[in-house]
Amino acid sequence: MFDLVVMPDTLRVACCQTAPDVEDPAASAAGARAALRDAVEAGAQIVLLPELAHSGYIFRSAEEARAVAVPADGELLAGWAQEAARGDAVVIGGFCELAEDGRVFNSAAIVDGEGVVAVYRKLHLWNDEASWFTPGEEPAPVVDTRHGRIGLGVCYDIEFPELTRGLALAGAELIALPTNWPREQVSPAGEPTPHLLARATAYLSHVFVAVCDRGGEERGGGFQGASVIAAPDGAMLAAAEPGAGVQTLVADCHLDAARDKRRGPRNDALGDRRPEHYVTT
């Protein structure tokens, strides 16, 4: 699928753009795990899965979402950890979370070979998600993983520059975003919206941005399949062709480059901020 040569000091990032089907959660979960396994076996060290990778997206009711929700300490993420352990990888993917108190969240987890490293509950819910998910109650995290400092968001979160900038300020070298971008969302001329936003977000905070989108259709709704890996200069290192559906994007990223925020000889993307002069409310 892709070659095994990894440059020294780089990390191989993979976005496994799968095609879950809300009508068949078992197949969706199996498809995500198979794509993850393939990516790890092919040498990827940081592997992303889409939002709600095991469950599909277009629920019809809160009950239906609850029926497929799983705890963070359950078999789903343990399975991802088993795949991660095959190659010392870090896995980032979205899942439908059943919390201990019974609430259901649209969450993303960071998992390594030893288990769950972090769980984030999506702060900004899109459209009907608000009918079946509780919005998150904690900031989006930045996690020091065995493969770099990873900031975490989910889909619509990328439309809040406060959140993505906050991840960069907290030290993220890579901002990872599992997404399910609906096909009917109008894209500005020229490129899918996730590509535009990933590139701009990467450029503005001089970080890597990896968006793992999904393909396929469910219940009459399609998805863009617009995964992308953007570099700190705003260039796309890898990008899914619109409509390509299931595929795995790969890019070798020198994450250390994201620590250097200099812009030319006298400027710094974060150091030049003038926070005392920003309007925030």
User: Which positions touch a copy of itself (CB under 8 A)?
Assistant: 123-124, 126-128, 130, 135-140, 156, 159-163, 165-167, 169-170, 185-190, 193, 196-197, 199-201, 203-204, 231, 233-236, 263-267, 269, 272-275, 277-281
Instruction: Give the nearer residue to a copy of itself in terms of CB position, either 70 or 250.
Output: 250
Q: How far is the CB of 202 from a copy of itself (least distance, A)?
A: 8
Closest to a copy of itself by CB, 77 or 177: 177
**Alpha-helix residue ranges (DSSP H) falling in the chain:** 25-41, 62-68, 75-85, 129-132, 161-169, 193-205
Token pair recorded at residue 190: 């020229």
Shortest Cβ 32–a copy of itself spacing (Å): 26
The least distance separating a copy of itself from the CB of residue 11, rounded to whole angstroms, comes to 20
CA separation, residue 12 to residues 64, 123, 166, 231, 238 (Å): 36, 28, 25, 13, 12
In the complex with a copy of itself, which residue's Cβ is closer, 82 or 185?
185
Query: Given CA atoms 186, 187, 192, 196 in this order, what sign does their dihedral have?
Result: negative
Give the residue with the Cβ less far from a copy of itself, 14 or 167: 167
> Closer CB to a copy of itself, residue 42 or residue 196?
196
Compute the distance between CA of residue 250 and CA of residue 50 in angstroms, rounded to an integer: 15
Q: Which is nearer to a copy of itself, 139 or 243 (CB)?
A: 139
**What is the rounded radius of gyration, in angstroms, for the C-alpha atoms of the chain?**
18
At its nearest, how many Å lie between a copy of itself and the CB of residue 40? 29
Distance CA 36, CA 95 (A): 14
Q: What are phi and psi of 129, to 5 degrees?
A: -55, -35
Cβ burial of 132 (10 Å; 0-12, 13-18, 19+) is buried
Give the residue with the Cβ less far from a copy of itself, 56 or 194: 194
**Angstrom distance (rounded) from CA 174 to CA 11:** 11
Query: How distant is the alpha carbon of residue 118 from its chain centre?
Result: 13
Least CB distance from residue 170 to a copy of itself, whole Å?
5
Q: How far is the CB of 195 from a copy of itself (least distance, A)?
A: 9
Closest distance of CB 96 from a copy of itself, Å: 19
Can you tell me which residue has the tokens 């520059």? Answer: 161
